[in-house]
Copies of this chain bind each other. A is one copy, B any other.
């Protein structure tokens, strides 16, 4: 551009007292590449503790890394055991009825809920790094398994195949979870934003509660769909089928459960009341049925539960088409959702107790427990919020409480299963409803609305989508799906329903990603003014007391300059200059001479961004304005240097702070204004 050779004497004179802007020392390509790989996949620097250690020590540390029990085991005390014993028994009393209930939700034999509370907690106790996580099955994943597998195989017509598919799906879920951890891709879970999770969980809880109306009202026939409209239609079209015995029993137990929850919430010391309540209702309900023979009067009961520990199931995996695809898909989706819950729960409690857990390590632990579990008749487990909260409140000290729970469940499996014969299903429905009500976090939604409207929209989108899926949304989307699926439609309504839910999940992720893209595509730019009696320059909007600097327009760009926003920024900057010139013209003030870009917030720039700056430079030159940069960062300076833009703009027009840039411009404005304008106005003639 020729500008680089030109010397601006007056500015150079001034520059002697200004700070130079540094181009960072060049780094070899592979070193910087290695660094950014490390930042992307190992932000927590897990190898840090291995530095300067002997090989045998390194081996032991490595073993400890994968089996944290080796770390806390040797330090385990009797005091700890006492606490873990209490909390372990408490969560077992919750785990048994919950496990049976959720297994029913997944259309699986109730005994699977007990199996799943035996093996996985033992694995987790060895490998997990959370001290408070209580392992078990979860409602949302159970419902999804039931819905997704139900599309392929009817659970009542072909229970064996359905069961085997559930094991296969769990196996793939575990495989995915462990791989994500091993490949250190844990950050994928982060893309499920807090708002999405609040909305999704609330929606799923609503759906689960609605489904329980079947159990509470003792209905025999019920819709396959999960949306609110179909369910309510199904309920109210069968008013004459409602069983009042079942309904009354359900309402009483639900009231009792909610009361205990409310009481425990008011007095945290009595947490055990709400923890014991489910087992109490189960015992009371079973006794009641046993004594009144209510099972013959419209109150359905669990029936026979097989005695004995988990039978092995690794021979049952189904790896043949067309079932494999379904199993893989179900495993992927439920695996991710379960993982997100487990990690969020682990992290929350770690935060309370001031220790930190390693997300990737947790993923490996949760994945391994599901892989091993799927080989021994367990279905998908993770760390449910409700059970972990009880564990935490019961004062657990280590993962040993999971072992205690597993032993208690083992004892139940070996000796106590016959006692559940008379347990009424309506009690299980009441237990599920009372647990699910806690997941509808309306307070969080209100908080989102107050703090961040966009987050609220995302949250409500997720909620409404899950609750109404296949009706409102379905009307639009189902047509599209219909046209695009040529697969055999065995269970049309449910299959569509299911596709709609998956599509909705995809859309949720898309909305979240879109938000990030919009942030990058439409970065904020704003005018800076001078804070009175200082050399500080801040946004005119945020600080209304700032003063304009005559003849100088100071713009701050609030995002990296990338291909996605460079066209926008060019237009927006032109508009800022137009507006400023219009304003000055109308007030008759000093005409505009300098445009300063504050680059403090521009973290990076790509080649499209540099082209944009070159174009802006031409635009300003043409209008007789001088372009000045303030405080470009290391990455930006490196790239501006390599692309020779520094020579184009002139090294003497890059300043370390806005203050120094303004000072230099003012200096020039009052000493050699006419010169500068004439000489610099049309350098594009040199191109």
Q: Which residues of A are at the interface with B, using a C-beta cutoff of 8 A?
A: 19, 22, 24-25, 29, 33, 36, 39-40, 43-45, 187, 190-195, 347, 351, 354, 356, 359, 447-448, 450-455, 486-487, 512-513, 515-524, 531, 534, 536, 538-539, 541-544, 558-560, 562-568, 571-572, 574-575, 600-604, 606-608, 610-611, 615, 618-619, 622, 633-635, 637, 639, 642-643, 656-657, 684
The smallest C-beta distance from A289 to any residue of chain B, in angstroms, reads: 44
Q: List B contacts of A22 (CB < 8 A).
A: 542-544
> Contact at A190–B607, with CB atoms within 8 Å?
no
Contact of A448 among B453, B564, B607, B656 (CB under 8 A): B607
Distance in Å: Cβ of A490 to nearest Cβ of chain B: 15
| B564 and A190 contacting across the interface, CB-CB below 8 Å | yes
> Do residues B606 and A454 form an inter-chain contact, with CB atoms below 8 A?
yes
Q: List 24 A-B contacts (CB under 8 A).
A: A19-B531, A22-B544, A33-B453, A39-B572, A40-B522, A43-B571, A187-B564, A190-B566, A190-B567, A191-B564, A195-B606, A195-B607, A356-B574, A447-B607, A450-B643, A452-B639, A455-B607, A486-B486, A524-B603, A542-B633, A542-B634, A558-B603, A600-B600, A601-B602
Q: Are B542 and A24 in contact (CB under 8 A)?
A: yes
Q: How far is the CA of A439 from the CA of B25 in the complex (A)?
A: 35
B-side contacts of A563, CB under 8 Å:
190-195, 512
Number of copies: 2
Known A520-B520, A541-B634, A615-B351; contact A567-B603, beta-carbon cutoff 8 A = no
B565 touches A190 (CB 8 A): yes
Closest chain-B Cβ to A602's Cβ sits at a distance in Å of 8
User: Would you give the shortest CB distance from A334 to chain B, in whole angstroms?
Assistant: 21
In the complex the two chains form, is B194's CB within 8 Å of A607's CB?
Answer: yes
Residues of chain B with a CB closer than 8 A to A195's CB: 563, 606-608
A452 to chain B, nearest CB (A): 5
Residues of chain B within 8 A of A575, CB atoms compared: 43-45
Nearest Cβ on chain B to A245's Cβ, whole angstroms: 46
A373–B370 CA distance with the chains assembled, in angstroms: 60
Most buried by B among A190, A452, A568, A618: A452
Bound-state CA distance A447–B29 (Å) is 15
A581 vs chain B, min Cβ distance (A) = 13
Known: A517-B516, A642-B451. A523 touches B603 (CB 8 A): yes
CA distance A187 to B523 in the complex (A): 13
Closest 5 CB pairs of A and B: A193-B563, A542-B634, A558-B603, A601-B601, A194-B608
A450 to B43, CA, bound (A): 27
Residues in B whose Cβ lies below 8 Å from that of A639: 451-452
Which residue in chain B gives the minimum CB-CB distance to A33?
A: B453
Q: Quick one: closest B residue to A512, CB to CB?
A: B563
A538 near B43 with CB under 8 A, answer no
Contacts of A562 in B (CB 8 A): 193, 515-516, 519
Q: Which residues of B contact A193 (CB under 8 A)?
A: 562-564, 606, 608
- In the bound complex, residues from chain B placing their C-beta under 8 Å from that of A601 are 558, 600-603
CB-contact partner of A603 in B351, B543, B559, under 8 A: B559
State the CA gap A512–B193 with chains docked (Å).
21
Distance A193 CA – B567 CA, assembled complex (angstroms): 11
Tell me, rounded to whole Å, the shortest Cβ–Cβ distance linking A325 to chain B.
8
15 more CB-based (< 8 A) A-B contacts, given A36-B522, A192-B563, A194-B606: A19-B536, A187-B564, A190-B565, A190-B568, A193-B563, A195-B607, A195-B608, A452-B639, A513-B513, A516-B520, A520-B520, A523-B603, A539-B634, A542-B634, A559-B560
Instruction: Name the B residues within 8 Å of A29 (CB-CB).
Output: 453
Check if A351 sits within 8 Å of B618, measured CB to CB: yes
Given contacts A447-B607, A516-B517, A608-B193, contact A522 B43 (CB under 8 A): yes
In the docked arrangement, what's the CA distance between A634 and B191, Å?
Answer: 25
Q: How far is the CB of A541 from chain B (nearest CB, A)?
A: 6
Q: Which residues of B contact A538 (CB under 8 A)?
A: 656
CA distance A286 to B610 in the complex (A): 47
Cβ B657 vs Cβ A536 within 8 A: yes
Complex CA–CA separation, A604 to B515 (angstroms) = 12
Most buried by B among A448, A542, A543: A542
Does A567 contact B359, Cβ atoms closer than 8 Å?
A: yes
A43 to B40, CA, bound (A): 34
- Assuming the A-B contacts A451-B643, A542-B637, A564-B191, are A622 and B354 also in contact, with contact meaning beta carbons closer than 8 angstroms in the complex? yes
Other-chain residue from B45, B450, B486, B564 in contact with A642 (beta carbon distance below 8 A): B450
Which residues of the other chain, B, contact A190 by a CB distance below 8 angstroms? 521, 563-568
Report the nearest B residue to A354, measured CB to CB.
Answer: B622
In the complex, the answer to whether A606 meets B455 with C-beta atoms within 8 Å is yes
